[in-house]
Every structure is written in C-alpha cells, then in structure tokens.
Amino acid sequence: MSFHAMSIHAVSLVSNLPDHLQHQLDAGACLRAQGYRGRFAPTPSGPLHLGNLRTALVSWLVARLSGGEWLLRLDDLDTPRLRPGAAESVVEDLRWLGLSWDGPVLLQSQRRGYYHSLLSHLRRQGLVYACRCSRRDLAQVSRYPGTCRHRHHSWGWSDRRLPAWRLRLQPGQDVACGDVVLRRADGFIAYHLATAVDEITCGISEVVRGRDLAPVRDAQVAVMAVLEQPAPTYRHVPLLCDASGQKLAKREASEGLDACRDAGMGPDQVIGHLAAQMGLVPEGSVLTALELQQTLASDRQRLEAYLAD
C-alpha cells in the first residue's frame, strides 16, 4: 500500500499517549494494513447538491474498483452550521443513488472525547499554545505570524472570550497557514484536528474530495505528523460549477436530488448524468452505480483520466 509522501517531517514529539488514544492509533494502522479504505465526509448543513454527489460517486467508485471499503462520516461538530434533518437527508440520498457504505455511519459528535483528550495531552506536552488574536487582527494576513507563540495567555475566559488553541509547528514543518488552529476561540474542535484524527484512527488510506479542500491538506498532515502517523494519499477532484463558473454551494440552495426527482429522474438517470459530466460514459446514459462500476472495471483509465484532470 502506498501513502502520500509526508512533506511535513514528523519529529518525535508526542510520548506516553493515554492508553485509549494509543489503542485508537494502533487500530487505525491495522485497518490500513488490510487494504484500501476511502470515505465520504460531508457536513450535514443542508441537502447535498449535485457537486457533493458527484464527489461521493467518484470516491465510491475508486474504493469499489480498488476492492476496498468506503466509509460514510458526518462531520457534525460545527453545530451552528447544522440544519435539522440534514443528516437524515444525506443518508437517504446516498441510499437512493445506490452508493452503499461499509459499517455504521460515523458521527464526529460521538468522538469528541478523543479530540479533547488529545488536545489535553498536546497541551501537557507543550505542543499547543493559547492564541488571543481576533478575527480583525488576522483579517489582512494569509499566514499566522506567530503573534501569541511566546506569550503566556490564560487558557480560560478573558474579556468574555476563550483563546484559540494553536499547534506549535516545529522546524522543518511548512504549512501555508502557519501554526494550525486545533480548537477555535468559540470552544469548538477545529476541522483540521478532527479530520486528521479520524483519517488515521479509521484507517483511511486515500482521501478523494473536492479541489476546494486541497489547501487544507498540509494543515491536516501536520497534525498527523505530530502523532507520527502516515498521511493517506490525497486526490482532489474538479468541482461542479454553475453557468457563471461558480462552484455549487449548499448555502446558495444549489440544485440537489429533490429537483431531479421533481423532474421525474430516477437514480439510474442521475448516476448517468453525473458520470457523463465526468466523461466516464456517453451523454444520455442510464445506469445504476453498480452498473457504472462494472463498466469501469474493464476500462479504469477513464476514471484515472478524470482524477488526473
């Protein structure tokens, strides 16, 4: 099995992890050793739009054509963004399309204990620090300049605000955003920490996701490096855009499966439509997800060409 070469060098920093955390890391390594494991990890902030579904389809295809497993994880930690019924909608839409996953649906909200336990351990190791820079302070910078790195801020409430917790990057670690936020100033676990922990503890060998997430890769690999864990391979696929060239977004109520169903389309027509957009089948094709998998089994180059676009 091949893993993405780690451009961010791990230094032996974390020692004596709590037993339950070490067990999770060991279990993830065992799962990776068993073969290909992919995942689809949307945030249940609204119905999936066709761009989300196209990414789910290609991720599912890569996993199935690799003879591996495909997991469904709901990134539901950012509760202000969540919408009632959205999680159920994600599950129903994937089932309707025939994109079956392996094992139970994973919820990040049920794994908070791992994230907080790891944060506490990193703090005891001196690998995180409290940052009290405001959004206004950071509005004009693309890379965190390390303003609070050598300051001794309180870890608790001050002026009605909590600090963010940042990972103290080591020499040789180069992340575009600078020291990575692991816990936000509003108290929520940051996306980079939760995602990195989940990839390694769930044994994910390859991440297939939208190209808009390519910039966050190095921040997540930095977290994995601190834990001395290999990063998965990453493939960032083209985004589905509207007529004006803008990527589809849930917040803009981009068209999803409800509109397709209202137009009388069945799941095989939607699969054919999404596959034709990727150049995998001729326009107008009608086929199930399983039939598409079988079609590509003898001609995987079409899928590889899309992934390499």
Cα-Cα-Cα-Cα dihedral of 181, 187, 191, 196, to 10°? 80
Condensed to tens digits (0 to 9), the pLDDT of residues 221-266 reads: 999 999 999 999 999 999 876 545 556 555 444 568 999 999 999 9
Only one residue has tokens 């990195």, namely 196
Instruction: Tell me the C-alpha distance between 184 and 77, whole Å.
Output: 12
- Give me the DSSP letters along 189-238: BPHHHHHHHHHHHTT--EEEEEGGGGGGHHHHHHHHHHTT-PPPEEEEEP
End of a domain among 170, 191, 212? Answer: 191
Shared domain check, 180 and 118: yes
Instruction: Tell me the C-alpha distance between 259 and 199, whole Å.
Output: 33
Tokens of 226: 């601190």
Q: What is the pTM of this model?
A: 0.89
Condensed to tens digits (0 to 9), the pLDDT of residues 191-204 reads: 999 999 999 999 99
Shared domain check, 230 and 97: yes
Q: Is residue 14 part of a domain?
A: no
Q: Is residue 10 part of a domain?
A: no
Condensed to tens digits (0 to 9), the pLDDT of residues 90-104 reads: 999 999 999 999 999
Q: Which residue has the higher pLDDT, 248 or 61?
A: 61
Q: How many CB atoms lie within 10 A of CB 43?
A: 20
CATH of the domain at 164: 3.40.50.620
Domain count along the chain: 2
